[in-house]
Amino acid sequence: MCNRIWTIPEPKGLARTTAMEAEKLNVVSEGEKRKKLEEEKGIIIRFVIGHSATSRGILDRAIEAEDKKHGDFLRLDHVEGYLELSAKTKTYFATAVNLWDADFYIKVDDDVHVNIATLGETLVRHRSKPRVYIGCMKSGPVLSQKGVKYHEPEYWKFGEAGNKYFRHATGQLYAISKDLATYISINQHVLHKYANEDVSLGSWFIGLDVDHIDDQRLCCGTPPDCEWKTQAGNVCVASFDWTCSGICRSVERMKEVHKKCGEGEKALWSASF
């Protein structure tokens, strides 16, 4: 089936219990419901993960066992590591676009609350644009000091000290159209990787004729922020805490955030994409 919308949460570490994460995210991870979501709504959800540095180690075997049970993983030919997120991003898009014919390919961190129907309705509005890059666009400082979080070893490429990055989507959630995913797939071996994954992705598009869509509903705060917006009829696409780059204490709080900020299951099944 063509003309699909895809949403693919990404585990941040090999040790995450993905079946539990799926439940927290209100992602349909049970076989029959997931199949219904794919067939009726054209939405594919997979947990994207590579391999540990130790081939066939304990973590890899645990993931293989869980994948056999739930069937909700997309395994990449990639060695996991925090400093390897830019490489993982390239591999993910290159793999996904060759596996599935979709309108959009999406990356979501696993500690972010997502309203899937609202996300789909947002993407549909941009379906006619061939090259579109959707997210919460930001332009933070280029950090040259060693030892700090988000340090950029190639800071000198961005000009004088104190300069900011070009506009790019924050890494918690972003979507790109099929043409852009195809571009990454074709050119993956020559696309430069910066230290930070979101900067890398933005750099691959900066010289292309791409529509950058800045939609702040993709980066709402957790309650009370997303709760107030939901009550006002402006349901958020995604919610998280900036201080934690995701929902702080997500294992404890995900259900609470969903209860206060979720669109409700009926919204998904009644939505038309």
Q: Please name each of the domains of the chain with its CATH number.
A: 4-140+171-270 (3.90.550.10)
Answer yes or no: is pLDDT of 227 > 70. yes
For the chain, the average pLDDT equals: 87
**Residue 68: per-residue pLDDT:** 85
Q: What is the pTM of this model?
A: 0.86
pLDDT value for 60: 85
Find the mean pLDDT for residues 111-116.
96
Could you tell me the sign of the dihedral formed by the alpha carbons of 150, 12, 221, 124, in that order?
Answer: positive
Percent of the chain with pLDDT over 90: 63
**What is the CB-side half-sphere exposure of residue 115 using CA atoms within 13 A?**
29
Query: What pLDDT was estimated at residue 192?
Result: 97
Exposed / middle / buried, residue 173 (Cβ in 10 Å: 0-12, 13-18, 19+): buried
SS3 at position 155: helix
Q: Per-residue pLDDT for 92 more than 90?
A: yes
- Coil, helix or strand at residue 42: coil
Distance of CA 33 to the CA centre of its chain: 21
- pLDDT of 30 reads 64
| 211 strand-pairing partners | 132
Residue 19 pLDDT > 80: no
* Partners of 74 in beta bridges: 48
| Euclidean distance between CA atoms 46 and 132, whole angstroms | 22
